[in-house]
């Protein structure tokens, strides 16, 4: 008999693994593996984006006995060694998504880092000096990456991993002056065109734990510092439940594009 239990995804971002983090994360990864079917990491995996930090994180992740899917965050780019960080994590079995999609237990997961630029009517526009246009173009390219990842998915159940926030609701709590650096409404547009079960992001350490897109999709800010402060008596990850897809439904939606 197939299980009726929902699938559970343990989500957390902003681990900010440093050279001194050995031994500090493996307990949480083991705990998440006991209660969840997969682990989702929402960027800022390393503190300075150093390969040395990534090796320490990879060692800690040996305690995770479930599939691990991740996106990188801005901190993972700090030392311009993001490709090596990605490779080290991939060698440790982590699926690092950068405008790509994967499938875990029949659930589609689309992932991209995202970028900054502000929200709603305060979104920075592509106008004026070339550096402003380059900045805005980066936000547009990240939104396109998310869109192309979503377009590949054929599964009935879908999750999205981001580092930056796609909505203003989960940045509330931070100083309003820095809202434009915490995310971009441009990331929300593909989420309206391609409905998903839930969106998970990090980056916003002092924001709000949950909100919704304009189309009603739940958005969870899973930055570890925020989870620790908001839910001090719980392990520092958020459990997201997704209905289990029957084999019949999987066959119905199977497509070479989702492989
Ligand atoms: Fe962070
Ligand atoms: Fe960040």
Each residue's pLDDT, cut to its tens digit, for the chain (259 residues) gives 456 799 999 999 999 999 999 999 999 999 999 999 999 999 999 999 999 999 999 999 999 999 999 999 999 999 999 999 999 999 999 999 999 999 999 999 999 999 999 999 999 999 999 999 999 999 999 999 999 999 999 999 999 999 999 999 999 999 999 999 999 999 999 999 999 999 999 999 999 999 999 999 999 999 999 999 999 999 999 999 999 977 666 655 554 443 3
If you search the block for the tokens 């409404």, which residue do you land on? 185
What's the CA gap between 201 and 72, in Å, rounded? Answer: 11
**Distance (Å) from CA 201 to ligand 2 centroid:** 10
- Residue 163: which of 196, 131, 141, 187 has the closest Cα? 187
Return the DSSP state at 220: E
Q: Which structure tokens are listed for 32?
A: 């998440």
CA of 247 to the centre of ligand 1 (A): 38
Q: How far is the CA of 42 from the centre of ligand 1 (A)?
A: 9
Report pLDDT for 245: 79
User: Computed from CA positions of residues 39, 45, 50, 55, in that sequence, does the dihedral angle turn out positive or negative?
Assistant: negative
Closest ligand relative to 14 C-alpha? 1
| Intra-chain end-to-end CA distance of the chain, in Å | 26
Tokens of 2: 């197939």
DSSP annotation of 244 reads P
């Amino acid at each position: 008999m197939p299980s009726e239990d929902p699938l559970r995804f343990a989500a957390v971002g902003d681990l900010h693994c440093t050279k001194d983090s050995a031994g500090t994360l493996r307990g949480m990864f083991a705990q998440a593996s006991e209660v969840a079917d997969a682990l989702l990491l929402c960027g800022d995996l390393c503190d300075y984006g150093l390969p040395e930090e990534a090796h320490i994180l990879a060692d800690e992740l040996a305690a995770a006995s479930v599939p691990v899917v991740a996106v990188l965050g801005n901190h993972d780019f700090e030392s311009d060694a993001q490709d090596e960080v990605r490779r080290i994590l991939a060698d440790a079995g982590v699926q690092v998504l950068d405008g790509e999609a994967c499938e875990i237990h029949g659930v589609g997961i689309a992932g991209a880092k995202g970028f900054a630029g502000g929200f709603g009517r305060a979104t920075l526009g592509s106008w004026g000096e070339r550096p402003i246009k380059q900045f805005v173009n980066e936000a547009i390219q990240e939104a396109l990456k998310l869109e192309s990842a979503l377009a590949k998915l054929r599964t009935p159940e879908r999750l999205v991993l981001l580092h930056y926030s796609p909505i203003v609701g989960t940045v509330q709590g931070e100083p309003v002056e820095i809202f434009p650096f915490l995310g971009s409404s441009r990331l929300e547009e593909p989420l309206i065109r391609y409905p998903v079960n839930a969106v998970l992001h990090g980056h916003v350490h002092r924001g709000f734990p949950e909100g919704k897109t304009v189309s009603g999709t739940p958005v969870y800010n899973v930055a570890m510092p925020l989870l620790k402060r908001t839910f001090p008596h719980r392990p520092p990850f958020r459990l997201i439940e997704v209905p289990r897809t029957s084999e019949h439904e999987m066959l119905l939606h199977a497509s070479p594009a989702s492989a």
